[in-house]
Amino acid sequence: MKTNFRTWPAVAAAALTALAPFAALAQAWPEKPVRMVIPFPPGGTLDKVGRMLAQRLQEQFGQTFVVENKPGGNGVIGGDTVAKAAADGYTLLFNASTFVTAPMTMKSVPYKVQTDFVPISLVAQAPLSIAIGSKVGVTDLKGLIAAAKANPGKLNFATGSIGSAGHLCTVRLEQAAGISVTVVPYKGTAPAFQDLIGGQIEGFIDPVLGSVQFHRTGQLKVVAVTAGKRLPNLADVPTASETVPGFECASWYGLWAPAKTSGEIVGKLNAAVNKALAADLADKLLADGLVPGGGSPADFAKFQADDIASSGKIIAERKISID
């Protein structure tokens, strides 16, 4: 096939002309309010971290970042809203690790995590707390394990959603400690904490940020944290590994956009997240017992893929499913 090199300048010019509107869009973005969808109810840890991030993005870009809680379907309703939104940077998804694990527990999900979304940034990782209600009658993790062994399957542990980090950590604790509990699914963490405090359930493993306030007021007791070392905001609480050697687990939070969102917009958002973390957001997260994230979109994509692989193994072995 003979190539006419004299046609290349014209072809290149035509291509640049065709791409010009998209380049202009990326340069101008954001020209109007940006919607950040959180697919769970307000009041939980995910919501709190998302709102902190939205405030800092709003300050940097000079545009309103509107947080929209869109719960339902184990996070799928909110996720699907973003997957079907225009890839123009004006609809974003802020979600937890449940986003990548929950679909593995469901028969049908209207989107694919790794192809219908583009990762923007890991925002934070969250060690979990093992919290119990006042009616359980124990004071530490050793006592909780003993109670669970004496009453197989009779202790009810909440999960904010099937396949969430807290759910998978509950399964890991069962395996590591040789116990059996009954997992009770809730539509978000806030109602789960209400029932834990009210005595309708006995335990809940969830990010520390959600339980610390109730622990301090004595409404529930955090018997252990799942971090590698004790946390500054719960220095009096031992790690789970002090009772169950080597036991650690965590949730994490990130920001995504619909697939085909321009690299320029993704880059702007990633830079803004990293700038927020470098300013005051990292300190606020650490004060709440979370580990700041950051890094590039590529770093986040790899982190996400690794979690899908490791969590998928547990889900398959235990045959965890919503049905």
- Is the pLDDT assigned to residue 16 strictly greater than 80? no
Tell me which amino acid residue 106 is.
Answer: M
Please give the mean pLDDT across all residues of the chain: 91
113 and 300 Cβ atoms separated by less than 8 Å: no
Is residue 140 over pLDDT 70?
A: yes
**127-250, what's its fold?**
D-Maltodextrin-Binding Protein; domain 2 (3.40.190)
In the chain, ranges of CATH 3.40.190.10 domains: 127-250
The domain over range 28-126+251-318 is classified in CATH as 3.40.190.150: yes
Residues 51-66, mean pLDDT to the nearest whole number = 98
Which residues lie across from 93 on neighbouring strands? 37, 256
Quote the pTM value. Answer: 0.80
Residue 6 φ then ψ, to 5°: -70, -15
Enumerate helices (H) and strands (E) in the chain, giving the number of each: 12, 10
C-alpha distances out from residue 193 to 157, 168, 205, Å: 11, 18, 10
Report the alpha-carbon distance of residue 145 to residue 255 in Å, rounded.
36
Over residues 202-209, the mean pLDDT reads 93
Q: What is the pLDDT of residues 243-265, one digit of tens each?
A: 999 999 999 999 999 999 999 99
Residues of the chain with CATH 3.40.190.150: 28-126+251-318
| pLDDT single digits (tens) 272-311 | 999 999 999 999 998 888 899 999 999 999 999 999 999 9
